[in-house]
Amino acid sequence: MPILLHDTLTSDKRELVPLEPGKIRFYACGPTVYDWSHVGHARSYVVWDVVVRHLRARGYEVKYVRNFTDVDDKIIRRATERGEDPVALAARFARAFDEDMDALGNLRPDVAPKVSEHVPQIVAMIETLVAKGFAYPAANGDVYYSVRKFPDYGRLAKRNLDDLLSGARVEPDEAKRDPLDFALWKAAKPGEPAWESPWGRGRPGWHIECSAMTLAHLGAPIDLHGGGKDLVFPHHTNEIAQSAAAVGDGRTAETFSRHWMHHGFVEIDSEKMSKSLGNFFTIREVLAKFDAEVMRLFLLGTHYRNPINYSDQILQEGERRLRYLYRTLEKVDRLAAGASPAGQPGGIVDDARRALDDDFNTPQVLAVLAEAFTAANVLADRKGKRTPEERSGLAAFARDVREIGTTLGLLQRAPQAAVRALREKAALRRGIDAAEVEAGIAERAAARKAKDFARGDAIRDALLARGVAILDGPEGTTWDVE
pLDDT tens track for 60-103: 999 999 999 999 999 999 999 999 999 999 999 999 999 999 99
Q: Does 197 fall in a domain?
A: no
- 407 and 445 both lie in a single domain: no
What is the pLDDT, as a whole number, of residue 456?
Answer: 82
- 467 and 374 both lie in a single domain: no
Amino acid letter, residue 223: D
- 10 and 113 both lie in a single domain: yes
362-381 vs 292-300: helix crossing angle, rounded to 10: 120
Q: What is the pTM of this model?
A: 0.93
User: Is 345 in contact with 397 (CB distance < 8 Å)?
Assistant: no
Write down which residue in 372, 392, 417 finishes a domain. Answer: 417
For the chain, helix, strand, coil in percent to 5 are 50, 15, 35
Q: Does 283 fall in a domain?
A: no
Q: Does 296 fall in a domain?
A: no
**Rounded-to-10 torsion of CA 81, 204, 190, 199:** 180
- 119 and 226 both lie in a single domain: yes
- 362 and 443 both lie in a single domain: no
**How many other CB atoms are found less than 10 A from the CB of residue 344?**
10
- 352 and 391 both lie in a single domain: yes
Q: Does 182 fall in a domain?
A: no
What is the pLDDT, as a whole number, of residue 276?
Answer: 62
- 386 and 457 both lie in a single domain: no
DSSP annotation string for 77-134 = HHHHHHT--HHHHHHHHHHHHHHHHHHTTPPPPSB--BGGG-HHHHHHHHHHHHHTTS
**How many other CB atoms are found less than 10 A from the CB of residue 325?**
22
**Distances 390 to 339, 371, 372, 374, 461 between C-alpha atoms, Å:** 9, 17, 14, 15, 37
Amino acid letter, residue 256: F
Contacts with 444 (C-beta within 8 Å, 6 or more apart), sequence order: 455, 456, 459, 460, 470, 477
- 353 and 459 both lie in a single domain: no
Query: What is the spatial distance between Cα 320 and Cα 134, in angstroms, rounded to a whole number?
Result: 56
What is the pLDDT, as a whole number, of residue 101?
Answer: 98
The segments of the chain whose pLDDT lies below 50 read: none
Query: What is the spatial distance between Cα 304 and Cα 299, in angstroms, rounded to a whole number?
Result: 8
Q: Does 284 fall in a domain?
A: no
Rg (the chain; Cα; Å): 27
User: Is 170 in contact with 150 (CB distance < 8 Å)?
Assistant: no
- 402 and 438 both lie in a single domain: no
User: Is 304 in contact with 297 (CB distance < 8 Å)?
Assistant: no
Domain count, the chain: 3
- 229 and 98 both lie in a single domain: yes
Cα dihedral 200, 203, 206, 212 sign: positive
Q: Does 361 fall in a domain?
A: yes
Name the β-bridge partners of 282: 38
Burial class (CB within 10 angstroms; exposed 0-12, middle 13-18, buried 19+) of 254: middle
What is the pLDDT, as a whole number, of residue 46?
Answer: 98
Beta-sheet strand order (sheet of 23-28):
61-66, 23-28, 224-228, 260-263
Range of the domain at 472: 432-481
What is the pLDDT, as a whole number, of residue 250?
Answer: 75
Residue 141 main-chain phi, psi, to 5 deg: 95, -5
User: Is 234 in contact with 182 (CB distance < 8 Å)?
Assistant: yes
Write down which residue in 388, 417, 446 finishes a domain. Answer: 417
What is the pLDDT, as a whole number, of residue 168?
Answer: 60
Helix (H/G/I), strand (E/B), else coil: 465: helix
- The distance in angstroms from the start CA to the end CA of the chain is 43
- 245 and 386 both lie in a single domain: no
Q: Does 287 fall in a domain?
A: no
**220 sits in which H/E element:** none
Interior CA angle at 304 toward 299 and 309, to 5°?
A: 50
- 232 and 106 both lie in a single domain: yes
Q: β-strand 23-28 against 224-228: which pairing, if any?
A: parallel
Helix (H/G/I), strand (E/B), else coil: 106: coil
Cα dihedral 418, 421, 424, 428 sign: negative
Q: What is the CATH number of the domain that holds 231?
A: 3.40.50.620
Q: Does 285 fall in a domain?
A: no
